[in-house]
Amino acid sequence: MMEYKGYIGKVEFDDEAGIFHGDVINTRDVITFQGTSVEEVRQAFHDSVDDYLDFCAQLNQAPEKPFTGKFVLRLSPDLHRRLYIAAKAAGKSLNAWITERLDETAHAH
């Protein structure tokens, strides 16, 4: 993985084509890049992010920021109730309790 200006690029190698290709994985907008060497793919990643930011500026649109930290989660009412009770039993807000559980799970992988 590579990071540039807050955008994270994931790179894979296509042995058949002999190229590295990648895409930005922390935005819903599609930003891709490719190259035949590590340096070339790194530069292509930077160029693609810069081009994306320039394109957004030309359109007078704000670029999609890499994740805001907010997302909507749909749960069954029963699960929502059980999570709320578990959070309160731990002396935490539902948001803080779920954030801790998700962080623990993400670090386990």
Residues 19 and 52 in one domain: yes
Residues 7 and 43 in one domain: yes
CB atoms within 10 A of CB 23: 17
Does 72 reside within a domain?
no
At 28, is the pLDDT very low, low, confident or very high (cuts 50, 70, 90)?
A: confident
Residue given tokens 């990648």 in the structure block: 22
**What is the CA 39 to chain-centroid distance, rounded?**
23
Does 65 reside within a domain?
no
Over residues 31-55, the pLDDT tens digits come to 999 999 999 999 999 999 999 999 9
Range of the domain at 14: 2-58
Domain count, the chain: 2
Residues 7 and 51 in one domain: yes
Does 70 reside within a domain?
no
The pLDDT score that the predictor gives to residue 14 is: 94
CB 52 within 8 A of CB 43: no
CB 87 within 8 A of CB 80: no
Give me the sheet containing 19-24, strands edge to edge: 2-4, 7-14, 19-24, 32-35
Does 63 reside within a domain?
no
